[in-house]
C-alpha cells in the first residue's frame, strides 16, 4: 500500500529513466538538453505526489550533506545560544542545516564530538575550541573540511577565525574602574590557556601597571556555581583590601554576585564590579552591572559568511581571515562609587 516513492518508482511510473529525472531535479535539464515537454511532465508529477529526494542517498553519492557542525562551549549560556540562533538562521537561508552541541570546555568531549561530526559527514565546522584540540582541528582542515574558529583561536592552527578585541576591551574597562577611584582590583578568571582569557588578563594587567595599582588575579577551575562562590568568598575574606572585581566571564560574575550577597558587601560602595560579556541579569540586577557586551550578531554573521564562502570556493582559496570585532562597554551602576 504505502510503497515508498523514490526516483526509481517515478521513473517506472512515467516510463522514463532516472537519469532524466535527476537532471530535471538538479537544474541540469537545459544543459543536458531535456525537452520542455518532458521537463514539465516530470515537474508536474513530482509536484502532484509531493516527492522529495532522499538526502541520505544524495549525500552518500555526492559526499555533501549540507550540514554545518556547530560546536560551542555551552548551548545553555545565553552568549552562545544567541550566536547559535543567528548562525542557524543565516545558514538555513543558504540551504544549510546546523547541528550543534556543547563541549563544556572539555577536551575529550570535544574530540569525541568532532569524531561524531566527521562520522555524520558534515560539510564544515564552526568551533569554539577548548585548548588541546589543535591536532584534531588541523586534521579536519587537512581533509579539506573548512573550519571557522569562534571566540578564540588556537595558536598552531591555521584557519579562519572571528574574535572580539579582548585585550583592549579589558584594558579600557579596567581603566574605567581606576578612573573611578578603585585601586585594589581583583581579576577573577578561569584557569585556562585559552587565548581570549589570556588576552583579557593581559589587558587588565597593562592598565593596572600603567596606573601603579594593585592587582589580584584569581584563577578558578570552574565546575559549578556553588564551588565558584566558595572560592570567591574565600578570596574576599583573605584579601579585604579588594575594592573592585573584574569578572572575566558572565557565569563567574553570576557566582560573584552570589558571593557578594552572602558576604553582605554592597556594590559599588564596598566593591565595584565589571564583567566581560553581557547578560540580561546584569541589566535587571540591583544595582545594574557594568559589562563589556560582545557583538553577537556581527560574530555570527562573520563566522557563517566565512564558512559559506569557503564551502563555495574551497578551503585553500585565498588567505585565512582573522576577524577581530570591537565590543561595546555598557556603563551601569556597579562601576562607580
Q: Which is nearer to its own copies, 102 or 169 (CB)?
A: 102
Nearest one of 328, 225, 203, 218 to 277, comparing CA atoms? 328
Tell me the three cell numbers of residue 194.
585559552
Closest contact distance (angstroms) between CB of 226 and its own copies is 13
Pull the grid cell for residue 135.
591536532
If one asks whether residue 19 binds DNA (CB under 7 A), the answer comes out as yes
- The single residue among 1, 2, 7, 103 that binds DNA, judged by CB under 7 A, is 7
Compute the least distance from the CB of residue 109 to DNA, in Å.
24
Query: What does 234 interact with, of its own copies, DNA, none (CB < 5 to 8 A by kind)?
Result: none
Task: Compute the least distance from the CB of residue 125 to DNA, in Å.
Answer: 20
Site for DNA in 56-85 (CB under 7 A): 56-58, 60-62
Contact set with its own copies (CB under 8 A): 52, 54-57, 59-60, 65, 75-76, 78, 81-82, 84-85, 88, 97, 99-102, 116, 119-121, 254, 257-258, 261, 280-281, 284-286
Contact partner, 7, from its own copies, DNA, none, Cβ < 5-8 Å per class: DNA
Nearer to DNA, 62 or 286 (CB): 62
Name 188's Cβ contacts closer than 8 Å, sequence gap at least 6: 218, 220, 232, 235, 245, 246, 247, 248, 252, 256
The yes or no reply on residue 23 touching DNA (CB under 7 A) is yes
- Residue 234 as a binder of DNA (CB under 7 A): the answer is no
165 Cβ contact partners less than 8 Å away, ≥ 6 residues apart = 324, 325, 326, 327
What does the alpha-carbon distance between residue 145 and residue 123 come to, in Å, rounded to a whole number?
Answer: 6
Q: Is 288 in the site for DNA (CB under 7 A)?
A: no
The gap from C-alpha 137 to its chain's centroid, in whole angstroms, comes to 15
DSSP 239: -
**165 close to 140: Cβ distance less than 8 angstroms:** no
- Site for DNA contains 37 (CB under 7 A): yes
Out of 38, 263, 298, 325, the residue judged to bind DNA by CB under 7 A: 38
- Return the number of other C-beta atoms located less than 10 Å from residue 9's C-beta: 14
Among 68, 62, 25, which residue's Cα sits nearest to residue 45? 25
Contact positions toward DNA, by CB under 7 A?
4-8, 15-20, 22-23, 25-26, 32-35, 37-38, 52-54, 56-58, 60-62
Amino acid at each position: 500500500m504505502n510503497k515508498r516513492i523514490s526516483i526509481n518508482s517515478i521513473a517506472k511510473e512515467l516510463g522514463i529513466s532516472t537519469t532524466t529525472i535527476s537532471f530535471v531535479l538538479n537544474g541540469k535539464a537545459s544543459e543536458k538538453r531535456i525537452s520542455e515537454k518532458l521537463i514539465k511532465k516530470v515537474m508536474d508529477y513530482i509536484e502532484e505526489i509531493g516527492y522529495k529526494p532522499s538526502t541520505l542517498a544524495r549525500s552518500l553519492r555526492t559526499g555533501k550533506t549540507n550540514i554545518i557542525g556547530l560546536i560551542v562551549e555551552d548551548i545553555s549560556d545565553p552568549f552562545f545560544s544567541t550566536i547559535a540562533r543567528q548562525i542557524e538562521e543565516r545558514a538555513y537561508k543558504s540551504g544549510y542545516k546546523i547541528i550543534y552541541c556543547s563541549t563544556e570546555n572539555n577536551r575529550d568531549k570535544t574530540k569525541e564530538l568532532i569524531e561524531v561530526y566527521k562520522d555524520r559527514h558534515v560539510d564544515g565546522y564552526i568551533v569554539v575550541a577548548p585548548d588541546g584540540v589543535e591536532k584534531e582541528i588541523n586534521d579536519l582542515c587537512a581533509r579539506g573540511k573548512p573550519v571557522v574558529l569562534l571566540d578564540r583561536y588556537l595558536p598552531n592552527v591555521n584557519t579562519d577565525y572571528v574574535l572580539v578585541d579582548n585585550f583592549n576591551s579589558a584594558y579600557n574597562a579596567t581603566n574605567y574602574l581606576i578612573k573611578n577611584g578603585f585601586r585594589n582590583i581583583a581579576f577573577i578568571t578561569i584557569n585556562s590557556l585559552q587565548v581570549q582569557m589570556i588576552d583579557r588578563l593581559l589587558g587588565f594587567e597593562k592598565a593596572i601597571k600603567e596606573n601603579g595599582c594593585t592587582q589580584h588575579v584569581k584563577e578558578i577551575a570552574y565546575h559549578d556555581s556553588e564551588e565558584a562562590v566558595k572560592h570567591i568568598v574565600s578570596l574576599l575574606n583573605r584579601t579585604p583590601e579588594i575594592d573592585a572585581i573584574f569578572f572575566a566571564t558572565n557565569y563567574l560574575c553570576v557566582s560573584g554576585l552570589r558571593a557578594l550577597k552572602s558576604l553582605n558587601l554592597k556594590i559599588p560602595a564596598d566593591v565595584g564590579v565589571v564583567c566581560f560579556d553581557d547578560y540580561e541579569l546584569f541589566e535587571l540586577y540591583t544595582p545594574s552591572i557594568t559589562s563589556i557586551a560582545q557583538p553577537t550578531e556581527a560574530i555570527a554573521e562573520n563566522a557563517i559568511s566565512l564558512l559559506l564562502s569557503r564551502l563555495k570556493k574551497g578551503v585553500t582559496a585565498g588567505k585565512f581571515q582573522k576577524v577581530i570585532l570591537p565590543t561595546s562597554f555598557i556603563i551601569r551602576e556597579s562601576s562607580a562609587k
